C-alpha cells in the first residue's frame, strides 16, 4: 500500500502556480461548453459527466419541435432513425474504431450481454473445450452479473482473478477474457494491447469495457486488435443521465452471428415487417428495439464538444491534461493532507493510470469501525467539492473504502484542483466529517 509522505522536493506547490497552469492550458476554452453551477468543483465526471451548455436548447428543440410539432415525421425529417449510427461515428475515432463500426444503443450491461453471447458462440464453434470466462474480481459488478447469467444459461464457468494473475491464467480452457480497461474503484489502467495479444496467443477472445476510459484516455481498439468493446456515454462523454451506451465489434467477427437480442431495429429491413429475422450487415445488427430518442439527441451535444476538442489537440491533449491534473492532485494531497491517514489507491505510473485519483483510509479511522471515507466525501460535497465514495468490503475485508475524484480535462482546471485539496484539508483538520449528518448513508453513494 502506498502511504503519503510529505513532499519536500522543489518547495511547495502554490495557488499561483496552479493559476499559471490554467492560464497556459490550451483546452481551457472548452470549460465554457459546459454549464456547471457556481461554487461547485465537479470531480465526479467519471460517474455522471457535466451538462454541455448546448443540451438545454437541444432538449427544447427535440421535445417541443421534433416531437411536439413534427410528431412521427421526425423519424425521417429530424434523422431520429440515424441517431445510433451517426453518434456511433462520432464515438469511433475516440476509441480507435472506424467509420460504421460503432452504434450508440441501449445500456452498457445490455450491450455486454449481446457481445458476450456472441463471443461465446464464436468460441464454442472454434474451441468447444474452452468453458471458462475470466474476469477481475474487482471489475464493476454489473459486468460480473451479466457474465454469471450467461454462464448459468450456457453452462460456462466464471473465474474471477486478481490483476496479478494475468496473463498466467490465460489457459486453453478459457473462452473469453472480459476486462474493464480502467478500474472503477482504483483508476488503475490495464495494457489493452499486450493483454489482448497474450489472450489471442491461446485463442481466447477479448471483451473490453471502456466505461472509465472512453473519452478519458487514448483507446486504440484496432491498434490493440481487440475483439469486442462496450462502454457508457454518461461518464466521460457527458451524454446525460442514463444516456445510451455504445458497442463495437471487430469486423472479423461482426457478421458471423446475429446477436441474441435480435429485434426489429437490427433487422436488415425493419420496415418490411417480415416474419423472419434477417440481421442487418455490420454493426447495425447490434441495435435491438426502438431507442430513447431524447437521450440519444442529448448525447450528441456531449460528443460535439469532443469534435471541438479535435482542433485543440484532441484526445492526445486531453490525456496530457488529465495526467497533469491527477499528478497535481496527488502531489497536493501529499503536501497538504499528509497527516490524516490517507493512502493512494491509484497507480503513480502514467501508463497505469486512468483519469481519476482514488484515496483510501483504514477501517477504524472514522467513527466506530468505519473508515470515515463516506463522511469525508459528504463533508466535501457540503462545501461544493463533488467526488464520490465506493464501499470496500468492511472491517476484515482486503478492500478498503475509496474516496474517488474524477478529473475530466474538458472542464476541470488546475486551480479547481488546488481548491479541492484545500477543502479536503479543512474537512480533515476541522474534523467536519465527524458531523453525524455526514455519516448517514444515502441509497446512492
Ligand X SMILES: *Cc1c(COP(=O)(O)O)cnc(C)c1O
Q: Which residues pair with 248 in a beta bridge?
A: 102, 229
Euclidean distance between CA atoms 445 and 443, whole angstroms: 6
Please say if 25 is a catalytic residue: no
User: In the structure grid, which three cell numbers stand for residue 407, read together?
Assistant: 478529473
Rounded to 5 degrees, what angle do the CA atoms 296, 314, 345 make? Answer: 85
For residues 67 and 59, is the Cβ–Cβ distance under 8 A? Answer: no
Give the active site residue among 235, 285, 321, 353.
235
Restricting to residues 71-110, name those near ligand X by CB under 6 A.
Answer: 107-109
Please say if 42 is a catalytic residue: no
| CB 211, min distance to ligand X, A | 3
Between 105 and 134, how does the x/- string for binding to ligand X read (CB under 6 A)?
Answer: --xxx-------------------------
Euclidean distance between CA atoms 318 and 30, whole angstroms: 11
Max alpha carbon distance in the chain (Å)?
73
Please say if 388 is a catalytic residue: no
365 touches ligand X by CB under 6 A: no
Q: By C-beta, is 135 or 335 nearer to ligand X?
A: 135
Q: By C-beta, is 143 or 416 nearer to ligand X?
A: 143
Q: Give the residue carrying C-alpha cell 473469453.
A: 176
Between 180 and 199, how does the x/- string for binding to ligand X read (CB under 6 A)?
Answer: x---x---------------
Rounded to 5 degrees, what angle do the CA atoms 397, 401, 405 make? Answer: 150
Q: By C-beta, is 143 or 401 nearer to ligand X?
A: 143
| CB 302, min distance to ligand X, A | 15
Exposure b/e, 319-339, CB count within 10 A at least 16 = b: bebbbbbbbbbbbbbbbbbee
Q: By C-beta, is 109 or 148 nearer to ligand X?
A: 109
Q: By C-beta, is 111 or 284 nearer to ligand X?
A: 111
Is residue 155 left, alpha or beta, with left meaning phi > 0 and alpha meaning psi from -120 to 50? left
Euclidean distance between CA atoms 186 and 231, whole angstroms: 18
Restricting to residues 235-264, name those near ligand X by CB under 6 A.
Answer: 245
211 touches ligand X by CB under 6 A: yes
Among 4, 34, 42, 140, binds ligand X (CB under 6 A): 140
Euclidean distance between CA atoms 418 and 423, whole angstroms: 9
232 touches ligand X by CB under 6 A: yes
Residues written for the chain: 445
Q: By C-beta, is 140 or 156 nearer to ligand X?
A: 140
User: In the structure grid, which three cell numbers stand for residue 342, read together?
Assistant: 490517507
Q: What is the number of other CB atoms lying within 10 angstroms of the CB of residue 76? A: 11
Give the active site residue among 25, 209, 227, 416.
209
Please say if 401 is a catalytic residue: no
Among 212, 353, 423, 425, binds ligand X (CB under 6 A): 212
Please say if 155 is a catalytic residue: no
| CB 180, min distance to ligand X, A | 4
Give the active site residue among 34, 42, 113, 140.
140
Enumerate the active-site residues: 140, 209, 234-235, 404
Q: Which residues bind ligand X (CB under 6 A)?
A: 107-109, 140, 142-143, 180, 184, 209, 211-212, 232, 245
Amino acid at each position: 500500500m502506498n502511504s503519503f509522505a510529505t513532499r519536500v522536493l522543489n518547495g511547495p506547490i502554490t495557488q499561483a502556480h496552479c493559476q499559471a497552469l490554467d492560464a497556459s492550458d490550451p483546452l481551457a476554452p472548452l470549460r465554457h461548453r459546459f454549464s456547471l453551477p457556481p461554487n461547485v468543483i465537479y470531480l465526479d465526471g467519471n460517474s455522471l459527466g457535466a451538462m454541455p451548455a448546448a443540451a438545454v436548447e437541444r432538449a427544447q428543440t427535440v421535445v417541443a419541435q421534433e416531437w411536439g410539432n413534427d410528431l412521427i415525421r421526425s423519424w425521417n425529417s429530424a434523422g431520429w432513425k440515424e441517431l445510433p449510427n451517426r453518434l456511433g461515428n462520432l464515438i469511433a475515432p475516440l476509441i480507435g474504431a472506424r467509420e460504421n463500426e460503432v452504434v450508440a444503443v441501449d445500456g452498457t450491461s445490455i450491450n455486454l450481454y449481446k457481445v458476450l453471447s456472441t463471443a461465446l458462440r464464436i468460441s464454442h464453434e472454434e474451441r468447444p473445450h474452452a468453458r471458462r470466462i475470466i474476469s477481475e474480481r474487482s471489475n464493476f459488478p454489473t459486468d460480473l452479473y451479466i457474465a454469471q447469467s450467461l454462464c448459468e444459461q450456457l453452462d460456462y464457468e466464471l473465474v474471477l482473478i486478481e490483476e496479478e494473475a494475468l496473463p498466467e491464467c490465460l489457459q486453453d480452457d478459457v473462452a473469453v477474457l472480459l476486462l474493464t480497461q480502467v478500474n472503477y474503484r482504483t483508476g488503475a489502467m490495464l495494457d489493452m494491447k499486450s493483454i489482448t495479444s497474450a489472450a489471442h496467443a491461446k485463442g481466447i477472445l477479448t471483451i473490453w469495457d471502456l466505461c472509465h476510459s472512453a473519452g478519458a484516455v487514448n483507446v486504440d481498439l484496432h491498434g490493440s486488435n481487440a475483439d469486442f468493446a462496450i462502454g457508457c456515454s454518461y461518464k466521460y462523454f457527458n451524454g446525460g443521465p442514463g444516456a445510451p451506451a455504445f458497442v463495437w465489434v471487430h469486423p472479423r467477427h461482426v457478421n458471423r452471428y446475429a446477436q441474441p437480442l435480435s429485434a426489429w431495429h437490427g433487422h436488415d429491413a425493419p420496415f418490411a415487417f417480415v416474419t423472419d429475422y434477417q440481421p442487418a450487415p455490420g454493426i447495425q445488427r447490434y441495435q435491438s428495439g426502438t431507442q430513447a430518442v431524447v437521450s440519444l439527441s442529448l448525447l450528441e451535444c456531449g460528443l460535439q464538444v469532443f469534435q471541438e476538442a479535435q482542433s485543440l489537440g484532441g484526445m492526445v491533449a486531453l490525456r496530457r491534461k488529465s495526467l497533469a491534473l491527477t499528478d497535481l492532485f496527488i502531489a497536493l494531497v501529499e503536501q497538504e493532507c499528509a497527516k490524516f491517514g490517507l493512502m493512494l489507491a491509484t497507480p503513480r505510473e502514467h501508463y497505469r493510470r486512468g483519469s481519476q485519483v482514488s484515496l483510501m483510509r483504514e477501517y477504524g479511522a472514522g467513527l466506530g469501525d468505519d473508515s470515515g471515507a463516506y463522511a469525508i466525501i459528504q463533508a466535501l460535497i457540503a462545501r461544493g467539492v463533488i467526488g464520490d465514495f465506493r464501499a470496500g468490503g468492511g472491517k476484515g475485508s482486503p478492500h478498503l473504502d475509496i474516496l474517488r475524484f474524477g478529473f475530466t480535462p474538458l472542464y476541470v482546471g488546475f486551480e479547481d484542483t488546488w481548491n479541492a485539496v484545500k477543502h479536503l484539508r479543512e474537512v480533515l483538520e476541522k474534523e467536519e466529517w465527524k458531523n453525524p449528518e455526514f455519516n448517514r448513508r444515502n441509497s446512492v453513494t
